Amino acid sequence: MRRISLLSTMILSAWFLVIVLSSGVVVGEEISVPTVTSTGKIFIVNPEGPYVMIKKADGKKVSLELTPETTVTLDGKSLPLDQIGILKVGYVATAEHFTSDVGMQQTISVSVITDGNP
């Protein structure tokens, strides 16, 4: 009798766990991080970072983190991250990046034009 009771308890416990775990509804919310576009002149290029910093017309500085997912172009031609050392101070850059109040900005794309600079 005791074995049947123990067996019944184990079976009921197992069914309870199966029902609870399988019927659980996962509720999630997709979070979107706003992006902005910043344009300014490059004043720091760090190929080891890799990152570049631009200074916008209003004097604000933006640090742009370059990741393997970042698209970088120079005068319309794709530029691999291992070649960003050819970017020069004074080139004009337009970057689309995620917004953050502090620190390095995770960058989606950077379009650089030489703007007649050597």
Q: Are 93 and 39 in contact (CB under 8 A)?
A: yes
* Confidence band, pLDDT 50/70/90 cuts, at residue 10: confident
Domain boundaries, the chain: 35-113
Residue given tokens 């101070």 in the structure block: 89
pTM above 0.75, yes or no: no
Dihedral (CA of 96, 101, 105, 108) sign: negative
- The structural architecture, per CATH, of the domain 35-113 is Beta Barrel (2.40)
Closest Cα partner for 96 from 21, 27, 16, 37? 37
CA 117 to chain centre: 30
- Say how many Å lie between the first and final Cα of the chain, rounded: 93
pLDDT at 65 over 60: yes
